[in-house]
Amino acid sequence: MKRVIILIAIISIYLSLYAIFSNLKIEKKVELEGLKEEIITKVNITTNRSVILFIPAVDNNGNGIMTKLIVEAKPGNGKVLIDIDNLFFWIDTQQSIRTAKKVAEKYLKMNLSNYDLIYKIETNAQVVGGPSAGAAITIATILALLDKQPNKNVSITGTINEDGTIGQVGAVYEKAKAAKDFGIKIFLVPKDQSIETELIPKKECTKVMNFEFCTITYEVNKINIGEKVGIKVIEVSNIEEAIKYFL
Active site residues: 132, 175
| Signed CA dihedral, 34, 37, 39, 45: sign only | negative
- Which of 107, 105, 101, 100 lies closest to 133 in space, CA to CA? 100
CA 12 to chain centre: 58
The three-class DSSP label of residue 201 is strand
Q: CA 216: distance to chain centroid?
A: 42
Residue from 166, 93, 176 nearest 128 by CA: 93
CA distance 92 to 94: 5
Measure Cα distances from 198 to 78, 144, 222 in Å.
45, 39, 6
- How far apart, in whole angstroms, are the C-alpha atoms of residue 190 and residue 136? 12
Cα radius of gyration (the chain): 28
Residue 51: count of CB within 10 angstroms of its CB = 22
If phi over 0 gives left and psi between -120 and 50 gives alpha, with beta otherwise, what is residue 28? alpha
Q: Which residues contact 84 (CB under 8 A, 6 or more apart)?
A: 120, 121
